[in-house]
Structure 1
């Protein structure tokens, strides 16, 4: 169960998008960074590497994109060049950034491009655009914006980070992350080391250059080559950190930014992981209350605490004796079962599926929970994995110092994680050890993002969000000089496009008319 800080929209967790770019211009007016925005002076963003040279950056900003058919009806694809190392642009080392769009359908005057990001880090923007955003966003928004996304560097088709083969990843996802003795601890540490070594062996060139700051700078290149003077953007989950980082680096280029399911950039890795653990406990409590009312609840009646105790007892049984899953090499043990449950907690619409999967597993058939875990890890039926988990670790471990530097540090923090979540606390604490063995030193650190001078930015928070706790949205909205907080009182991860007319109306009005909701508006 490696679920540490995987932050992405509901659709990318439960739905198998699987629609990827088949390598694929419009050029816009030249828009080079000003000296101040290139240095990231506004707001003092953390982890800003040395300033890129404006003259060396000119060819990147002046490049023309050649659009081609993606092989998915209605979508066009292209490839954008970006410097591998922004501290040394023009040195001959570039990365290819995969881009896709769906041109505005009309009616109404075109408002430019709307760039969308599903989170992760490691989520494919191309897959998200083709499977959901480009066809599922509200029709008035799609009518007036070219819907655009990209696979951030290190992700999917954009110079992807690779670490383990499919069979190696199968073994990795089954490693016990609630070790009971020294031997199990040693196996878990060995698994983290093997994962990190695989990333270094297969992806040494790109590993030092996949930070959120790097991706934000790529996004400014994308804005320019699309022909937009300002960036219009909807970022979900981790995509909120990417968007806020962009706003802090380039406040004068902020158009209409929506940050949905927000992260708090001031929280160090230890606190982020512990906060997320608490968020999953909150979400599970909502599920447990609902489950206890349903006639098919496999965890029985009673209080959320009683339901949680039964789930924890079931996990203990799986730890001792996995059950068949339909895949002889991957029986359902505690690690995969926990990941399957967590995957379903992202979306309350998945609760019936979770009840059914738990009931089957408790009767000796683990196929349902394994399927949920596979959706979380983006494992295909052919045994191949998308590079989500590889890119996720690469970005997280570069953006901040590790939460833990070894097993003893995890031991010290375990009580606080178990207090945050009696069911998930131990596993999520140990999962946070993964960056402790990373082969590249972090380039960033926690710190506020203020985006001084930016146009109004809408920050959306859901009160019972499992992956990005509501307090993170409150914190980010407070840090951003022009932040306005929009609250959804509900369950699930992120809010826009998930059934709330109140939320959708407020965001649509902002995207279409430039009128942000009143700060503190609740739906």
Structure 2
């Protein structure tokens, strides 16, 4: 690409004729707009095609710095005669891979897969795209070692030192990449992808953090959006700091108001306590025991933070997570006497949480996108209160927030989402979602004028479309196929919580 001239053209529909300024004053050099995607079968997938897209490191200074590579994928519409366009997907996190997601999507929603070319990508900083390097596996494990609830001066200094080290390691090992790993830069990659696909407009589906990508894209390129579904919304109407400091409350709510009552209800199966209070007391006792004597299972060392991490992961989805967490808690009580199957389950539930690569992107985006309070004294005081009131996620607040306090100063432009110029956008959220909590979704809904909110009442799963709820799936699929959204905000009842095999509820 380096030998191509530096003329600039608009990233519209290829071929790029009639150069003009792109939205928000960003112009696209011809060496990017005129590239051709070399589609080939994706590794390990029989239904997807993959390609590599070249993007500038900095869309605001496209001639400064080395280019980046963004891995992209597509699943062609299975009914070419009825094809209606492109449906772009993105992954959550930030830090998750989106490259292979179209395959599962079209398998679950064949009618949508028949009507659309379903496309996705690993955003800059993730997976097969150009990505940062922050820490080794050993350094990552050390970040989550010890006990985040320990508020002794030595423990607090240890947390701050490890957070400072993570921020410094990311900066030192990533070759100047960090400032350009932002939502706004990724959104401009998305529009180049749209252009290279030859699409004047796209439809969009994004869950979790990908709701921010969708909201930002729709704000910067409203005339290039046909339909958009934002599923389980992060607080993109505000700052990352505002959003993340609300999570301790929502994770604690999901744990205490959904999981623990379910666990107590099936005491005949798990024998973990007949009341919420008894089940919680037993969980807390196990945490204290692990703080005193961590349990080694396979390659995992399970201490108090690992108990927290496994619990946090499990409450995202009741059907998959609740029974697995309950069985793993029972296995923990068996300790070294647990059988092989129980040990495998414990290692899976409590020994796998995020990764060094995930956190590298997560912190890059969340620390870069919006300004953070950079006072570690402030975070020390605030985290003490949140750890006491909402300990499940509040205990880790100091470790996570102080990374952003130590991060290089953010320079990303703020994107204010208004909904101006957009067609009706569909938003989905459950009332007890622990990660993308309902209160933030309501603020997002108010900011995105003309949107319709589908509230899933009586539940708390994270990710609503393709989660088995016929009401939600029917609304979203109909919208994607016809463009018809509900006339007003509406509600779907959550599916019942799972019933363990052979259970007799009290």
Normalising by structure 1, what TM-score?
0.84
- 1:371 corresponds to which of 337, 345, 348: 348
Partner of 1:316: 288
Superposition map of 1:26-65 within 5 A: 28-30=14-16, 35=21, 38-39=23-24, 51-52=25-26, 54=27, 56-65=28-37
Query: Which residue of 75, 79, 89 maps to 2:48?
Result: 75
Select the residue among 256, 266, 274 that pairs with 2:237. 266
Q: Are the aligned partners of 2:124 and 2:186 in contact in 1 as well (CA < 8 Å)? A: yes
Residue pair 1:279, 1:465 contacting (<8 A) in 2 also: yes
Query: Relative to 1, partners in 2 of residues 1:75 and 1:197: Cα closer, same or farther, differing over 3 Å?
Result: same
Distance 1:279-1:169 versus aligned 2 partners, 3 A rule:
same
Q: Choose from 220, 223, 231 the match for 1:252.
A: 223
> 1:348: how far off?
0.2
1:509 aligns to 2:470 (yes or no): no
Query: 2: CA distance between counterparts of 1:353 and 1:445?
Result: 42
Contact 1:116 1:133 in 2 (8 A): no
Look up the SS of the partner of 1:363 in the other structure. Answer: helix
Aligned counterpart for 2:432 among listed residues 464, 483, 503: 464
308-317 vs 161-170, which moves further = 308-317
How far apart are residue 364 of structure 1 and its match?
Answer: 1.2
Alignment of 1:12-31 (within 5 A): 28-30=14-16
Aligned to 2:250: 279
Note closer, same or farther for the CA distance 1:249–1:340 as it changes in structure 2 (3 Å cut): same
The separation in 1 between residues aligned to 2:271 and 2:20, in whole angstroms, is 59
**Rounded Cα–Cα distance in structure 1 between residues aligned with 2:284 and 2:344:** 19
CA distance in 2, matches of 1:433, 1:306: 34
Change in Cα spacing, 1:448 to 1:38, as seen in structure 2 (3 Å) is closer
Tell me how far apart the structure 2 counterparts of residues 85 and 238 of structure 1 sit (CA, whole Å). 21
Query: 3-state SS of the aligned residue for 1:516?
Result: coil
- The aligned runs of 1:56-455 (5 Å cut-off) are 56-71=28-43, 72-91=45-64, 93-106=66-79, 109-130=82-103, 132-136=104-108, 138-284=109-255, 285-294=257-266, 295-297=268-270, 299-303=272-276, 305-327=277-299, 330-349=300-319, 350-364=321-335, 368-378=345-355, 387-403=357-373, 405-416=375-386, 418-419=388-389, 421-438=390-407, 440-444=408-412, 448-455=416-423
Per-residue CA deviations over 1:119-146 (Å, capped at 9, x if unaligned) read 110110114334x32433x110011111
Whether 1:497 aligns to 2:466 is yes
Q: Quote the offset at 1:66 in angstroms.
A: 1.1
> Helix, strand or coil: the match of 2:184?
helix
Per the alignment, residue 495 of structure 2 pairs with: none
Structure possessing the higher radius of gyration over alpha carbons: 2
What secondary structure, in the 3-state scheme, does the structure 2 residue paired with 1:324 have? strand
Q: CA deviation at 1:108?
A: 5.2
Task: Give the SS at the match of 1:491.
Answer: coil
Alpha carbons of structure 1 residues 422 and 165: separation in structure 2 relative to 1, 3 Å: closer
Question: Aligned pair in 2 of structure 1 residues 237, 181: CA closer, same or farther (>3 Å)?
Answer: same
Name the structure, 1 or 2, with higher relative contact order (CA <8 Å, separation 6+): 1
Take 1:422 and 1:207, find their aligned partners in 2: how far apart are those partners? 31
- The DSSP-based 3-state class of the residue aligned with 1:258 is strand
1:485 aligns with 2:462: no
What's the C-alpha RMSD, in Å, of the aligned pairs?
Answer: 2.3
* 5+ residue gaps, structure 2: 1-12, 337-342, 493-506
C-alpha separation between the residues in 2 aligned to 1:31 and 1:361?
64
How much does 1:286 deviate? 0.2
Contact persistence 1:268–1:403 (CA under 8 A): no
Q: CA deviation at 1:424?
A: 3.6
Q: Could you tell me how far apart the structure 2 residues matched to 1:31 and 1:147 are?
A: 26
Q: Does the Cα contact within 8 Å between 2:122 and 2:128 map onto a contact in 1?
A: yes
Q: Pick the aligned partner of 1:522 from 462, 470, 491.
A: 491
* Inter-partner Cα distance in structure 2 for 1:401 and 1:82: 25
Secondary structure of 1:288's counterpart equals helix
Cα–Cα, structure 1 residues 336 and 407, in superposed 2: closer, same or farther, change >3 Å? farther
* 1:290 to 1:466, Cα distance in 2 relative to 1, 3 A: same
**8 Å CA contact retained: 2:308, 2:392:** no
* 8 Å Cα contact 1:255-1:455 kept in structure 2: yes
* CA positional deviation for 1:165: 1.6
- Contact 1:417–1:429 (CA under 8 A) maintained in structure 2: no
Distance, in Å, in 2 between the alignment partners of 1:373 and 1:110 is 44
Is the alpha carbon distance of 1:444 and 1:125 closer, same or farther for their aligned partners in structure 2, counting shifts above 3 Å? same
Q: Return the alpha-carbon distance in structure 2 between the equivalents of residues 102 and 206 of structure 1.
A: 30
CA contact (8 A) 1:343 1:373 kept: no
**What 5-or-longer segments of structure 1 have no aligned partner?**
1-26, 40-50, 379-384
Deviating above 6 A after TM superposition, structure 1's stretches of 4 or more consecutive aligned residues are 31-34
Contact 1:114 1:148 (C-alpha < 8 Å) held by counterparts: yes
